[in-house]
Amino acid sequence: MTEPTVDAPGYPAEFAERYRAAGWWRGETFGQMLRDRAAEHPERVAIVDPAGGGRRWTYGELDARADRLAAGFLARGIGKGDRVVVQLPNVAEFFEVIFALFRIGALPVFALPAHRETEIRHFCSFTEAAAYVVADVAEGYDYRVLADKVRADVPGLKHVFVVGEPGEEHTALADVPTEPVAIADPPLPHELAFLQLSGGSTGVPKLIPRTHDDYIYSLWGSNEICGVDENSVYLCALPAAHNFPLSSPGTLGALYAGARVVLAPRPSPDVAFPLIEREGVTLTGLVPPLALVWTEAAAAGDHDLSSLEVLLVGGAKFSEEAARRVRPALGCTLQQVFGMAEGLVNYTRLDDPEETIVTTQGRPISPDDEIRVVDDEDNDLPTGATGHLLTRGPYTIRGYWRAPEHNAASFTADGFYRTGDVVRLTDSGHIVVEGRAKDQINRGGEKVAAEEIENHILAHPAVHDVAVVSMPDAYLGERTCAYVVLREGAEPVKSVAVKKFVRERGLAAFKVPDRVEFVAAFPQTGIGKVSKKDLRAAIAAELRATAPQL
Ligand code: AMP
Ligand code: DBH
């Protein structure tokens, strides 16, 4: 039975029964899935980690490592239901750690390498995490220093595990594994597997509780649509913990299929192209700005990319013009993917007509994904009309973790998730993303919640009020612009000072405003609210006026 837990609303029993009866929920867990693949083909390569000295772990090896690490975690008092914040770059240990946690039923909380002390402190304290797993140094940043800062503020955080060289107060991950033990109370398929992060539109990021059953369905459903089988080679070019490269079909989809995962330490063509050539990569996923860079770089023809069959592009709207360039430049099929960590994932199909592939963001994975397009009063609109996308289905959550107030606003009474996306449906049932109603900036796939940044800027002593909006950008699609009203009589502040102030509050770099504009007052709507629409129009006009003439 799927009972609502104290931490988050679960799937109502009648829906759970339906999803099981339909065969979407297969009653599998991540721990068992890896065990099964390892039994089927222990010698097959699961993970290729070029950064880690070119390591190649077989399914058998990954399975054995997960068992030993699971036993080590248990020995250190980490057990079922405990939360563990995992912040790792694209290294093989990421999979060792998460499968060890899956096996014992502890819940990974998927932080991104870009997160800094403000975000990590929140994840650790809000989830009452038992442990935090980091790399020593990655991309020139020392995560051990970050761990010490966080630990000073979150006394409940018992363990810091470091991949690589630990600091004084840390434990080397390599010292944790012990002889495997039988797990007395393994997680059940309907139970939570992990907490994923929402891009969000609120002051602090919300946590997304996903179950083994629902997420595994999104994996094999994606595999069928993207043509992933045991012969596939998936290149993980985006940060591994993000929902897109994790599950659409991503590394976990590839592992479900018994395929091979190749980890790219960075997504740039100079790193990724040689890996595609050497490892015979068949598919990968990119955000739109990177897809643009790749199509341009491919023209140089320095690398043989002929193994690449499918390029998935999603996370933000991919323009039609850019989409048209993919096949000629890279010689592969484009698959647009419009997904969200809360659940619903849409793909264009490999055999869709080219026009559909370049002009739509795909259609849902499941016949049981319910899609509604509604007006501001939740009335259903006719097909083709543009409105708010609401969704409910076999892998879409019914509520955020420990967030009853947000849940009341983010879900309808009958359990539809309010995506905040503005879309229209084509006659073929494909979704076209037309815009967004949520107060968020989508910076090339990296989501920035306006309210979160506003709260930080408001902490500046000279700031009276602030409104963060998107501004158009040829490369990222959107960037962030903070409109600031200074306090009366305050010393003038420079825009660099505001940016520095935000950065020093310990936020991910992608959240630092790209531009800061000072105004005497904000434009208002009819009822006196700040009109972000007018602010967006103002900055767009300003950019047009100052753009270099061609
Ligand atoms: P998140 O909540 O961080 O998982 O981000 C999910 C959101 O990213 C969606 O609700 C959309 O706003 C946006 N998104 C993802 N893929 C696409 C896409 N292909 N086109 C437009 N927006 C997208
Ligand atoms: O942006 C996203 O969150 C996203 C994009 C594509 C996603 O979660 C996914 C596919 O699964």
Dihedral sign, Cα of residue 498, residue 499, residue 504, residue 508? positive
Contact yes or no for 260/48 (Cβ under 8 A):
yes
Q: Where does ligand 2 bind, in terms of residues with CB under 6 Å?
A: 243-244, 247-248, 314-315, 337, 339-341, 345, 445
Ligand nearest to C-alpha 245: 2
Q: List, for residues 30-80, the tens digit of each pLDDT value.
A: 999 999 999 999 999 999 999 878 999 999 999 999 999 999 999 999 999
Q: Which pairing describes strands 310-314 and 333-340: parallel, antiparallel, or unpaired?
A: parallel
Average pLDDT over residues 496-503: 98
Contact yes or no for 486/462 (Cβ under 8 A):
yes
Single residue among 215, 233, 267 that ends a domain in this structure: 215
Give residue 529's domain range. Answer: 442-546
Q: Tokens 């629409």 appear where?
A: 533
For residue 347, tell me if it sits in a domain. Answer: no
- 249 Cα to the center of ligand 1, angstroms: 15
Tokens standing for residue 104: 């014992």
Q: Under DSSP, is residue 119 helix (H, G, I), strand (E, B) or coil?
A: helix
Residues paired with residue 142 on neighbouring β-strands, in sequence order: 137
pTM of the model: 0.97
Tokens standing for residue 109: 């909380």
For residue 9, tell me if it sits in a domain. Answer: no
Ligand nearest to C-alpha 440: 1
Ligand 1 atom closest to the CA of 438, numbered from 1: 12
- Atom 22 in ligand 1: which residue has the minimum CA distance? 316
Tokens standing for residue 488: 């009366």
Tokens standing for residue 282: 């068949």
The pLDDT of residue 200? 83
Average pLDDT over residues 235-253: 98
Q: Tokens 């306006």 appear where?
A: 450
Q: How confident is the model at residue 401 (pLDDT cuts 50, 70, 90)?
A: very high
Q: Under DSSP, is residue 261 helix (H, G, I), strand (E, B) or coil?
A: strand
- Atom 7 in ligand 1: which residue has the minimum CA distance? 340
The pLDDT of residue 5? 57
Q: How confident is the model at residue 203 (pLDDT cuts 50, 70, 90)?
A: confident
Q: List, for residues 6-28, the tens digit of each pLDDT value.
A: 799 999 999 999 999 999 999 99
- 239 Cα to the center of ligand 2, angstroms: 12
Higher pLDDT, 200 or 157: 157
Mean per-residue pLDDT over the chain, rounded: 97
Ligand nearest to C-alpha 241: 2
Question: What secondary structure does DSSP assign to 463-487, as a single string?
Answer: EEEEEEEEEEETTTEEEEEEEEEEP
- 318 Cα to the center of ligand 1, angstroms: 11
Per 3-state DSSP, the chain is made up of helix, strand and coil in percentages (nearest 5) of 35, 25, 40
Question: What secondary structure does DSSP assign to 310-368, as a single string?
Answer: EEEEESSPPPHHHHHHHHHHHSSEEEEEEEETTEEEEE--TTS-HHHHHH---EES-TT
Single residue among 184, 215, 246 that ends a domain in this structure: 215
Q: Please say if the pLDDT value at position 364 is more than 80.
A: yes
- 445 Cα to the center of ligand 1, angstroms: 7
- 227 Cα to the center of ligand 2, angstroms: 18
Enter the DSSP assignment of 395.
Answer: T
| Mutation pick for ligand 2 pocket among 243, 396, 440 (CB with most ligand atoms within 8 Å) | 243
In angstroms, rounded to a whole number, what is the distance separating the alpha carbons of residues 47 and 174? 18
For residue 306, tell me if it sits in a domain. Answer: no
CATH number of the domain where residue 194 is located? 3.40.50.980
For residue 498, tell me if it sits in a domain. Answer: yes
Total number of domains constituting the chain: 2
The pLDDT of residue 548? 76
How large is the angle between the packed helices 212-226 and 13-21, nearest 10 degrees? 40
Q: For residue 184, which phi and psi values (nearest 5 degrees)?
A: -65, -35
Q: For residue 158, which phi and psi values (nearest 5 degrees)?
A: -80, -35
CATH number of the domain where residue 493 is located? 3.30.300.30
Average pLDDT over residues 494-514: 97
- 316 Cα to the center of ligand 1, angstroms: 5
- 423 Cα to the center of ligand 1, angstroms: 12
Single residue among 188, 215, 242 that ends a domain in this structure: 215
In angstroms, rounded to a whole number, what is the distance separating the alpha carbons of residues 102 and 73? 11
Q: How far apart are the first and last CA of the chain?
A: 64
Q: Please say if the pLDDT value at position 4 is more than 70.
A: no
For residue 83, tell me if it sits in a domain. Answer: yes
- 314 Cα to the center of ligand 1, angstroms: 7
Ligand 2 atom closest to the CA of 315, numbered from 1: 1
- Atom 3 in ligand 1: which residue has the minimum CA distance? 199
- 143 Cα to the center of ligand 1, angstroms: 28
How many CB atoms are closer than 10 A to CB 530?
18
How large is the angle between the packed helices 269-279 and 288-298, nearest 10 degrees? 70
**Which residues, including other chains, have CB under 8 Å from residue 438's CB and lie 6 or more apart?**
201, 420, 421
Ligand nearest to C-alpha 250: 2
Q: Where does ligand 1 bind, in terms of residues with CB under 6 Å?
A: 198-199, 243, 314-317, 336-341, 361, 419, 421, 433, 436, 442, 447
In angstroms, rounded to a whole number, what is the distance separating the alpha carbons of residues 133 and 88? 7
Q: How confident is the model at residue 2 (pLDDT cuts 50, 70, 90)?
A: very low
Q: Please say if the pLDDT value at position 196 is more than 90.
A: yes
**What is each CA distance from 516 to 432, 480, 496, in whole angstroms?**
32, 9, 8
**What is each CA distance from 147 to 158, 168, 208, in whole angstroms?**
11, 11, 23
Q: How confident is the model at residue 1 (pLDDT cuts 50, 70, 90)?
A: very low
Ligand 1 atom closest to the CA of 420, numbered from 1: 10
Q: How confident is the model at residue 354 (pLDDT cuts 50, 70, 90)?
A: very high
Question: What secondary structure does DSSP assign to 500-520, as a single string?
Answer: HHHHHTT--GGGS-SEEEE-S
- 226 Cα to the center of ligand 1, angstroms: 19
- 448 Cα to the center of ligand 2, angstroms: 14
* H helices present in 446-530, as ranges: 450-458, 495-504
Q: Please say if the pLDDT value at position 549 is more than 70.
A: no
For residue 335, tell me if it sits in a domain. Answer: no
Enter the DSSP assignment of 200.
Answer: -
In angstroms, rounded to a whole number, what is the distance separating the alpha carbons of residues 4 and 226? 33
* H helices present in 76-182, as ranges: 93-104, 117-126, 143-153
**What percent of the chain is predicted at pLDDT more than 90?**
95
Q: Tokens 């993980």 appear where?
A: 236
In angstroms, rounded to a whole number, what is the distance separating the alpha carbons of residues 141 and 448? 22
| Mutation pick for ligand 2 pocket among 317, 340, 396, 440 (CB with most ligand atoms within 8 Å) | 340
How large is the angle between the packed helices 495-504 and 450-458, nearest 10 degrees? 100
Ligand nearest to C-alpha 226: 2
Q: How confident is the model at residue 3 (pLDDT cuts 50, 70, 90)?
A: very low
